[in-house]
Amino acid sequence: MSTPVDDQALREIADKFISLANEQTETTTPDMIGLGFMFGASRYAAFVVASQCEDLDVYNLNIDEALDFYTKQFRSMMSQNLDQYKSQFVEKPRYEHLVKDVTKKT
């Protein structure tokens, strides 16, 4: 399941998806956009797995490996991105408007 990754190409592709997601914030919540991203990514990853299998038997044999691979990749990428966003809270609270004030009563 592992293929050498061109980091620059990966980031350029991701930036295109993020740009599209940013456009969607005009009409959709960030939570829904995030879920849409995950659903789309999982759907496309399933297509990639299926397209590399010559028949159902091979496909069934590859399901657990694919789930492990994509789950580990997502966890690693998510962890890296969460670590990067920590600086937004320490250096300059750029995303303060996105953080809910739990002390306010509505």
Q: Rounded to two decimals, what is the model's pTM? A: 0.74
The pLDDT value given to residue 5: 77
The pLDDT value given to residue 30: 93
The pLDDT value given to residue 86: 85
Per-residue tens of pLDDT for the chain, all 106 residues: 556 778 899 999 999 999 999 999 999 999 999 999 999 999 999 999 999 999 999 999 999 999 999 999 999 999 999 998 888 777 666 666 666 655 555 4
Task: Sort 92 into a burial class: Cβ within 10 Å, 0-12 / 13-18 / 19+.
Answer: exposed
CATH architecture under which domain 7-98 falls: Orthogonal Bundle (1.10)
Nearest to 34 by CA among 65, 84, 78: 78
Please measure the distance between the N-terminal and C-terminal CA atoms of the chain and give it in whole angstroms: 49
